[in-house]
Amino acid sequence: MFLKIRPTPESIIKTEICVKFLSNQAASLKNVIEEEPSGPSMKTSIPGPNSLELMSKLKNVYNLGAIQYIVNYEKSIGNYIIDADDNVLLDTFTQISTLPIGYNHPALMESFKNQSNLRSMINRPALGVYPGVDWPKRMENILKQVSPKLSKITPMMCGACSNENAIKSAFMAYKARERGAREFTEDEKNSSIMNQRPGCPDLSILSFKGAFHGRTIATLSCTHSLYIHKMDIPSFQNWPIATYPLYKYPLEENERENKEIDKSCLEEVEYLIEKNKNICPVAGIIIEPIQSEGGDNHASPDFFRNLQAICKKHSVILIIDEVQTGCGPTGKFWCHEHFDLPHPPDIVTFSKKMQMAGFFHSEETMPEQPSRIFNTWMGDPGKTILLETILGVMKSENLLDQVQRSGKRLYSGLEKLQNEFPELLHSLRGRGTFIAVNAHGRPLRDTIINNLKKNGVQSGGCGQEAIRHRPALIFQERHVDIYLDILRKILKEISGRN
């Protein structure tokens, strides 16, 4: 047993680490799974007394509204999150979908035992000005291993700032096309400083109802999931918002209707591009391959291929936001690989499971002048080192295959539950382990998620009524079975059946 800590708030801060686990150099997935607890175990209600005590210390300086409980990150391991009261929960939500190889993976722990990696991290460079001797090789490695057939990479800090700068790149590319070889005029230079035309032109990004692209100012104008994200923030009024396909499930029984939905959404996109031409031309379209925060809304490969054709026809830059879908959870490295697009997208943004954030992009979307897409750090070598390690583990452990296997089992298990409890669940959908199922209404969805937590499963919701599954890539068939057993027990209790 690796837990050796008496659960008091003091011991949580000065806790001993699990030496056996962390010093395991030849870490394979098997080792990681062997070190996990055999299943969830709950000692207190959540948040428990230790969590509450620590939260009371934060209360005066921190908005506690969204905090569920305090986590012991030294004890959390593999697919299990362990809280300050030693409650052990199977984690199907993984820090809002950001942990690709689970908690405290030994390969990640090893990364910073390497002195040169450690130095890259502690001497944090302004990468846009003073990259280290290791940086060209690291960028080359990342591009070679995972670029979605795009030749450029721009590192950033988080999902929103990756999208924010992708949007800026689309505007710059649009104007560069118009300007051709000529330099900026004096009028453009002077007017830009004062937020006026022609230096600050009327250009727009088309986004979709239900989308979530972040909470910075431009991305917020493209975000349409919850009012609470947007309230009181001025927005770009002339940026068009199209309808994202919302299909009827099961897909096999609603093919004709869903095709009609695709058609009408695509017609709307083209109509909005035309309509905006003389008001605020559309320079770019930003879209999630699966709308995640907005409720796990899927659009068909056909929809995406046609959307790309519309972009090509109207010279609009296509930005695919893979912040939540990227790095393997759908069973392919990038979700848009499922769509078989005839061309790579112009820009693909990433963050979350990648640890490193930023965007891959085409030559055309790389501005000629320096410092236009720029900030102080331009990323963080520490996060890039973690990504390199993650990619190594994904490859050596065939984690995309694991995701496909676990996804299949999870999907068929949920399908059985949906058939068994049709009064509770509907509209199962997903790719890989990136699977969601709806409850009939938000109160029921929230009850299911709360009861899962009481029974040792950390899960998450999205949209109005979806239960979303975002386990780590190391979530195996055995974890699927543990989860489904607990979910079934809860559904049975809620339905009042014996």
Ligand X SMILES: Cc1ncc(COP(=O)(O)O)c(C=O)c1O
Active-site annotation, residues: 212, 321, 352, 376
Q: Are strands 297-298 and 317-321 parallel, antiparallel or unpaired?
A: unpaired
Show the site string, 313-332: x = touches ligand X by CB under 6 A, - = not: --------x-xx--------
CA quadruple 357, 358, 359, 360: dihedral positive or negative? negative
Q: Which of 208-216, 366-374, 382-390, 425-433 is the region at the interface with ligand X (rule: CB under 6 A)?
A: 208-216
Q: In terms of CB distance, is 15 or 330 closer to ligand X?
A: 330
Shortest CB 269 distance to ligand X, Å: 19
If you search the block for the tokens 């990136």, which residue do you land on? Answer: 434
Shortest CB 418 distance to ligand X, Å: 25
Q: Are 452 and 81 in contact (CB under 8 A)?
A: no
Q: Which of 142-150, 207-215, 389-397, 488-496 is the region at the interface with ligand X (rule: CB under 6 A)?
A: 207-215
Neighbouring residues of 128: CB distance < 8 A, sequence distance ≥ 6:
370, 371, 374, 375, 378
* Binds ligand X by CB under 6 A, chosen from 78, 214, 326, 432: 214
Shortest CB 321 distance to ligand X, Å: 5
Q: Are 474 and 78 in contact (CB under 8 A)?
A: yes
Shortest CB 231 distance to ligand X, Å: 18
Tokens of residue 76, six digits? 């959390």
Q: In terms of CB distance, is 47 or 329 closer to ligand X?
A: 329
Shortest CB 219 distance to ligand X, Å: 7
Question: Which residue type occupies 291?
Answer: Q
Best CA proximity match to 102, nearest among 37, 33, 46: 33
* Binds ligand X by CB under 6 A, chosen from 171, 212, 303, 339: 212
Neighbouring residues of 148: CB distance < 8 A, sequence distance ≥ 6:
334, 336, 337, 344, 345, 348, 360
Question: Which residue type occupies 112?
Answer: F
Should residue 213 be labelled a site residue for ligand X when binding is judged by CB under 6 A? Answer: yes
Should residue 221 be labelled a site residue for ligand X when binding is judged by CB under 6 A? Answer: no
Q: In terms of CB distance, is 163 or 451 closer to ligand X?
A: 163
316/284 Cα distance (integer angstroms): 5
Applying the rule CB under 6 A, the residues between 140 and 179 that interact with ligand X are: 158-160, 163
Q: In terms of CB distance, is 417 or 462 closer to ligand X?
A: 462
Q: Mind giving me the DSSP string for 124-183?
A: ---TTT---TTHHHHHHHHHHHH-SS-SEEEEESSHHHHHHHHHHHHHHHHHHHHHTTPP
Show the site string, 357-396: x = touches ligand X by CB under 6 A, - = not: ----------------------------------------
Shortest CB 357 distance to ligand X, Å: 7
Best CA proximity match to 15, nearest among 28, 24, 6: 6
457/487 Cα distance (integer angstroms): 9
- C-alpha dist (Å) from residue 4 to 44, 75, 105: 18, 9, 19
Best CA proximity match to 386, nearest among 323, 327, 322, 332: 327
Q: In terms of CB distance, is 51 or 169 closer to ligand X?
A: 169
Tokens of residue 80, six digits? 């299990």
E strand or H helix at 21, and its extent? helix 19-22
Should residue 351 be labelled a site residue for ligand X when binding is judged by CB under 6 A? Answer: yes
Q: In terms of CB distance, is 355 or 476 closer to ligand X?
A: 355
Applying the rule CB under 6 A, the residues between 257 and 296 that interact with ligand X are: 288, 292-293
402/408 Cα distance (integer angstroms): 10
Show the site string, 2-21: x = touches ligand X by CB under 6 A, - = not: --------------------
Q: In terms of CB distance, is 72 or 154 closer to ligand X?
A: 154
Shortest CB 324 distance to ligand X, Å: 4
- C-alpha dist (Å) from residue 156 to 105, 126, 147, 161: 24, 12, 15, 7
Q: In terms of CB distance, is 27 or 317 closer to ligand X?
A: 317
Best CA proximity match to 335, nearest among 288, 295, 302, 294: 288
Shortest CB 332 distance to ligand X, Å: 17
Residue nearest ligand X by beta-carbon distance: 159
Q: In terms of CB distance, is 199 or 294 closer to ligand X?
A: 294
Shortest CB 98 distance to ligand X, Å: 8
Q: Total residues contacting ligand X (rule CB under 6 A)?
A: 14
DSSP state of 306: H
Site for ligand X, rule CB under 6 A: 158-160, 163, 212-214, 288, 292-293, 321, 323-324, 351
